[in-house]
Amino acid sequence: MAEEPLVHNYNVEAPLERNLPEKVVFWDETLRDGEQTPGVYFTIEEKVELARLISDIGVDVMNVGIPAVSNGEVKAVKKITEQGLEASVLGAARTIRGDIDACLKADVDECAAFIAASPVHLKYKLKMSEEKAIETAVDAVEYAVDHGLKTTFVTEDTVRSDWGLVERIYNAAIDAGAERILYCDTVGVMTPTAMHWWLKEVRKRVPAAKHGVEEGVHIHNDFGMATALNMAALEEGVQCVNTTFGGLGERAGNTPFEEVVMALELLYDHRTGIKLDQIHAVSKKVEEYSGVPLAITKPITGYNAFTHESGIHTDGVIKNTLTYEPIQVETLARERRFVFGKHTGTHAVAARLEQYGIKDTPKEKLVEVANHIKDKTEGETKEKVTEFIHHYRDWDQNHKGVNDQEFWEICAKVGIQVPKGEKVKATA
């Protein structure tokens, strides 16, 4: 007789309606949108190393920057394309021929041409009519395709646009030769239920599959639902997801790569082809080079993701890790930690002693040790460690790229009048 499973995964067992693509295309944005995190800057050497690591882990496409930003960005992107990486190297471009020329100069494999599509963006940011937006989109896609680039067409703020423009601009881009289209929730305002509905509706208007065109989503995390929204899109059969390591990106960031991967692997029992045992190491390298600390309670890669203090939890994990760990640390090449604090129980003490060959310690001795630990770590007797908090708040105030004094010095250098009271160094 077959043994009953210790845990049930109703995500798989339940007769749920979903249409996961056979192959999920992972499009990494760490080196483009991730670098747009306020205050983050990667050197060329750091970009090349991260590109190599991200490619090696198994992603399919890497957006490594917008070459038109500067000559330095062209140089950085070109350096990455010279590495002969497995992942396809993509450069982003506004729907402007000059931006696409910069992508060509950087020798990218692919190009993503983007333009804003919602009424608020068109009216206030671009000051452009819908007709003009469609015209520039078609011109850019045709220009990129004519120059041999595999081209993705993207609209910012897609899910807050009206259906008429979405239908016309995407169908026009497909007719112009786009091989992939990307829908964006640029400010993360959809809910998973709404995302299911929206994708069904957009397909009535933009029959991408009929033309053999791949669909993708780019979702920001302003309401903390980016991962859930990506899973909803994948359940609807969308093939491509945009992610960043650690969820780096503008404001509250992008969809965290590690969350989507592990959700697919463990909750959906869907193989991704990603090297799971490299996720943490790459995440730590991104943390080091970006200067943005991984959150203590960040899922998958956070410092406390596999750390236990509570006596009840520690007892359960020691007896069987499935009690309080839905992910096994070995899968991610991480280590499980037990922290001694005010919630520590006797099982954690016994486990630590047994690590050093000290077995069969009397129960009363274990209780005594646990009580001493509680006394030592109670708030009344132990000063809290707040250095990290103060350091982080200081970083938040000062990690802003060019500071105010440097800004005004630059202005003075080019002949712009500096306001009274602003101290600047004398320029030669």
Note the pLDDT of residue 349. Answer: 82
The amino acid that residue 329 corresponds to is V
Instruction: Decide: 283 and 245 in contact? Cβ < 8 Å.
Output: yes
Tokens of 386: 């707040």
Cβ count near 81 (within 10 Å): 16
Note the pLDDT of residue 319. Answer: 86
Note the pLDDT of residue 400. Answer: 61
Q: Which segments in the chain show pLDDT lower than 70?
A: 1-2, 379-385, 388, 395, 397, 399-400, 426-428
- Bridge partners for 150 per DSSP: 110
Cβ count near 403 (within 10 Å): 11
Note the pLDDT of residue 4. Answer: 82
Cβ count near 126 (within 10 Å): 16
Q: How far apart are CA 127 and CA 133, in angstroms?
A: 10
Q: Which domains does the chain have, with CATH numbers?
A: 16-290 (3.20.20.70), 307-377 (no CATH)
CA dihedral of 353, 358, 363, 366, whole degrees rounded to 10: -30
* Tally of residues, the chain: 428
Q: Is 258 helix (H, G, I), strand (E, B) or coil?
A: helix
- Give backbone dihedrals phi and psi of 249, rounded to 5 degrees, phi first: 150, 180
DSSP 416: P
Q: Angle at CA 137, nearest 5°, toward 136 and 143?
A: 85
- Bridging pattern class, strands 150-156 and 25-28: unpaired
